[in-house]
Structure 1
Amino acid sequence: MDLPSRFEPGQTLLLDADDTLWENNIYFERAIAAFISYLNHHAYTREEVRSVLNEVERETVRERGYGLASFQHSLVRCFERLSPEPVTAEKHERIVSFSHCISEHEIELLPGVAEVLPALASRHRLILMTKGNEVEQADKLARSRLAHHFTAVEVPREKDPDAYHAVCRKYELTPHTTWMIGNSPKSDINPALAAGLHAVFIHHPHTWVLEHEVVDTAHDGQHLLELDGFTDLGMCF
């Protein structure tokens, strides 16, 4: 992969957190695998159960937003939708227990983050911009020990073009020196491009399926970089 020459210092880098700075979705995937095994549905395949769960999660996100409580609600609702048996208090507790590993795991920084982020912070303005539950994201950031590299933290309900416009207004950012960096085409790349910003798509093999989209084309005057990992970011900025 050919990388561009390093961009000038003084850029503003909006950085996603989950699956860009640290592992996140792999823990949800483990919980989902345990849930599907527990459901042990005889009429639906594992793939069909997962498809139903994906749709339930879409519904739940619209109603309740993101976060662990929303995910737990989705598991229970999916079980109710597919199981011929009612969800007893014991079953409810068991279903919710599959998500405990998500909140209990240590923060696992992705390769290159610990080395590259301080160098980026020395040359550019870094703002963490990650959607999710604000309390949960603040806790993960604190445990990551990366907070001191960021001049600000934004946790919008959704990362859509309006959210990017709002951040640009709040911090008086100019689009031609502002970049969104993340692993999600749906939340990081496409809406940032639509808002007139540059974008860096860092591939992650386990990006949440609800964040999948075809990556848009950058318009004239915009930059769109696609990188294999965070380490490559240090060679660009």
Structure 2
Amino acid sequence: MSIEVQTYAPGQTLLIDADDTLWENNIYFERAIAAFISYVNHREYTREEVREKLNEVERENTRLHGYGLSSFRNSLVICFERLSGEKVSPEKHERIVSFAESVADQDIELLPGVAETLAELASRHRLILMTKGNQAEQADKLARSGLASYFAAVEIPKEKNCEAYCDVCVRHELAPHTTWMIGNSPRSDINPALAAGLHAIYIHHPSTWVLEHDAIGQPSNEQKLLELEAFSTLVRYF
């Protein structure tokens, strides 16, 4: 039995997340965290408990210093100091920093079908990249991805909340009824976009950062919320 898919008219505006929507990102941080936890090798806390301590530090640190490698590096050092109860020696500091630097050394790995899908979508719709984080880091990743030409504009806010989406709509004169946010994060991509009156498309990624997890909100009667398993599926709707 075939399932009918609703298609949307050309001329929609698609706001598209980058990390873990267009390319792999969190898997590299997870590898760095696993190496850090092994290095800590805490005598009292389990690996899961050390991870939760790091999550707590990252929640605090991102509120104060935003996202990106610098913030992550700082979180690892602070977490180590809290767990050990002492200042990090220069030797240990260098080792801890190396875990964060391993993330920076990664090439951009596009998710399956992303380039082809963007090319097709860009022929019918207006695409705007909207990804939070460190301005320089995100711009560099976009440049290295080879995808920049598909986007009419790029937005890199420090945080993706309802206010950020409203600001983007005003700046680019976007109509909510033809504007969609596409991404893998319920916390940053889906819920605040819905709160701003936009449509949203949640694309599942198996390694979404734990701090981006959240229960997905309900759209209003005027809004659409789609849940897709792969980015390439978008061409069936748009």
Please classify the TM superposition score into its range, dividing by the shorter chain length: over 0.9
**Bigger shift: residues 81-90 or 128-137:** 81-90
Q: Structure 1 residue 3: deviation in Å? A: 6.4
**Residues 29-178 of structure 1 mapped to structure 2, 5 A cutoff:** 29-178=30-179
Distance in 1 (alpha carbons) for counterparts of 2:98 and 2:157? 28
Aligned to 2:7: 6
Gapped regions of structure 1 (runs ≥ 5): none
Gapped regions of structure 2 (runs ≥ 5): none
Distance in 2 (alpha carbons) for counterparts of 1:3 and 1:106? 39
Matched residues, number: 237
Local SS of the residue matching 2:187: helix
Q: Structure 1 residue 84: deviation in Å? A: 4.3
Distance in 2 (alpha carbons) for counterparts of 1:157 and 1:99? 20
Distance in 1 (alpha carbons) for counterparts of 2:59 and 2:10? 39
Aligned to 1:190: 191
Distance in 2 (alpha carbons) for counterparts of 1:2 and 1:73? 49
Q: Normalising by the residue count of structure 2, what TM-score does the alignment of the two structures yield?
A: 0.98
Distance in 2 (alpha carbons) for counterparts of 1:154 and 1:85? 40
Q: Deviations over 1:66-113 (max 9, x none)?
A: 010000000000000001454100100100001122111110000110
Moved over 2 A (4+): 1-5
Local SS of the residue matching 2:97: helix
Instruction: Indicate the percent of aligned positions where both proteins have the same amino acid.
Output: 68
Q: Normalising by the residue count of structure 1, what TM-score does the alignment of the two structures yield?
A: 0.98
Local SS of the residue matching 2:220: coil
Q: Please tell me the residue identity of whatever aligns with 1:4.
A: V
Q: Structure 1 residue 175: deviation in Å? A: 0.2
